[in-house]
Amino acid sequence: MSGFPLARQPFNFQDRSQLRSLLKQYLQEEKNDEHLTWESITTQNGLPHNWIYDLFEDSLRRIWVGTWGGGLARFEKCEWLTFNTSDGLHSNEVTCIREDHYGRLWIATDNGLNVMENGKIRDAGLAGKSLLNITFDHQGNLWAGCWRASFSGGGLFRFDGHRWEAFTTRQDLPGLEILKVFNDSSGRIWVGTYEQGIGAGVGCYDGERWQKYTSVQGLADDCVYSMFEDPSGNMWFGTIRGVSIFDGKSWHHLTQKDGLVDNRIYCMMIDTHKKMWFGTEGGVSRFDGQSWVSYTKNEGLVENLVRSIIEVSDGSLWFGTYPYAKGCGGISIARYQTVKSLPDRLLDLLPEPPDPRKLPPGTEPGSDWKNPTDSAR
C-alpha cells in the first residue's frame, strides 16, 4: 500500500487533481481491505513443538496451545510456559482445550482427559481414551469425542460433574470415531465422524434421539472435520470435499470452484469483522459474503495446513498449523492494519494552525481574534 507524504504543506484546493487522486486512493483502499501483517511463532521463539492441534484463549486472556508431541503451552505477558507429562498431563499430544464457567481448564489428550485448576493438573477421567474434541453444553455438561476406535474404542462421552455416560452406535451414534463435537444455540449436540477416513456423516442429538445426515441427504462428504453455526442458525460442515451449509431443510456447498484454496476443511470461524475463515490443507481462505481471499506460505503463513484458528481479544488472528513434517509448522499471527482515515489524510495536506506564540497579546487560539488585515478589506 503506497502512502501519502506525511509532511504538512499548503494545499491549493483549486488544484482538484490532487484531491481527486487522494479520494481515489482512499476509496480503493477502503474497498480492498487486505491490510494484514503477519508474524510467526515456532520452537525458535517459545513453542515447545511446531505441530499445533488446538488454540484457545481463556477468560483471563491467556492463550493456550495444544501441540502434538510438546504438551500444553501458555502465552501470557509475552512469555511462554509449558506443561507436559511431568506436570501431570496424560500425554504430550494435546488435542483440545476448553474452559468451564468456574474457570477450570479442561485438556483433551491422546491418552485421556485432564483438568487444570489453580495451576495444578489432575486426572479427569477417560484414561486410555484417544480424545480429539471436547465441548460444554448449555447445562454445563462436558462432551468428549474419541477417535482411533481400534486403539481406544472410540465413541462419545458426557460428563455431568459426577459420572460419565457413553454413547456408541448402539445408541444410534452415527460412528465411533469422532472428529468434532459442537453445541448449537438450541442446545443440540452435533458430531462429525471419521471412520478411518470413510466417514459416517454427522449426527445431531436433541436430548432424546440422534438424527443422522450423510452424503445421501446432501452432505458433501461423510468425513467431517469441523463445524459451526452462523448468526442465522445455519450449520456449516467442513468435509474433505469442501463446505456444506445446512439450513434445516436444504443443503448448499462451497468448493475450490467457488474460491476455497483447498477442499479439505479442518477448521472454520467468523471474526469480529464478520468475515469467515476456513483452515484447509492448502492454506487459509477468507470469505466476506461476496468475495474470497486466500493466504498460503507465499503470503505469510508459516505452513499451509491450518488445523486451528482463533481471534483473540486484541483483534489478532492466530493460525495453528500441522504440516505432518518434522521441523516444520508453528503458529502464524495476522493483524489488521489501521487504514488512515480520509479526514486525517486531508489534514496532512492542510497548512499548520497558527502558532499561539505569534498571536497578538491577549488572544488565544479559538477566541474571536481576527486577522487585522481583515478590517482593511
CA angle 276, 282, 283 (to 5 degrees): 45
Please check the confidence at residue 20 and state whether its pLDDT lies above 60. no
Percent of the chain exceeding pLDDT 70 equals 80
Please check the confidence at residue 356 and state whether its pLDDT lies above 60. no
CA distance 89 to 111: 9
- Secondary structure (DSSP) of 279-327: EETTEEEEE-SS-EEEE-TTTT-S-S-EEEEEE-TTS-EEEEE--SSTT
Q: What single-letter DSSP state applies at residue 357? A: G
- The 3-class SS string of 101-162 reads CCCCEEEEECCEEEEEECCEEEEEECCCCCEEEEEECCCCCEEEEECCHHHHCCEEEEECCC
Question: Domain containing 86: what range?
Answer: 36-336
247, 248, 228, 230: which is closest to 238 by C-alpha?
Answer: 228
- Per the structure, the count of domains in the chain is 1
CA distance 31 to 29: 5
> Does 192 reside within a domain?
yes
- Decide: 173 and 212 in contact? Cβ < 8 Å: no
CA distance 301 to 293: 14
The amino acid that residue 272 corresponds to is T
Q: How far is CA 260 from CA 52, 291, 298, in A?
A: 22, 11, 16
- Decide: 97 and 135 in contact? Cβ < 8 Å: no
239-257 pLDDT, tens digit per residue, is 999 999 999 999 999 999 9
140, 214, 203: which is closest to 173 by C-alpha?
Answer: 203
> Does 203 reside within a domain?
yes
Half-sphere exposure of 347 (CA within 13 A, CB side): 6
Residue carrying the nine cell digits 491577549: 362
185, 193, 188: which is closest to 215 by C-alpha?
Answer: 193
CA distance 119 to 115: 10
pLDDT band at residue 18 using 50, 70 and 90 as cut-offs:
low
> Does 175 reside within a domain?
yes
CA distance 130 to 153: 8
Q: What single-letter DSSP state applies at residue 45? A: G
CATH assignment at residue 82: 2.130.10.10
209-248 pLDDT, tens digit per residue, is 999 999 999 999 999 999 999 999 999 999 999 999 999 9
pLDDT at position 370: 45
> Does 29 reside within a domain?
no
> Does 23 reside within a domain?
no
pLDDT at position 256: 97
52-82 pLDDT, tens digit per residue, is 999 999 999 999 999 999 999 999 988 999 9
> Does 361 reside within a domain?
no
- 253: β partners: 244
> Does 346 reside within a domain?
no
pLDDT at position 361: 53
314-352 pLDDT, tens digit per residue, is 999 999 999 877 768 999 999 987 655 555 555 555 555
Please check the confidence at residue 30 and state whether its pLDDT lies above 80. no
CA distance 277 to 306: 11
The amino acid that residue 320 corresponds to is G
pLDDT at position 182: 97
Neighbouring C-beta atoms of residue 208, cutoff 10 Å: 5
> Does 284 reside within a domain?
yes
Mean residue pLDDT across the chain: 86
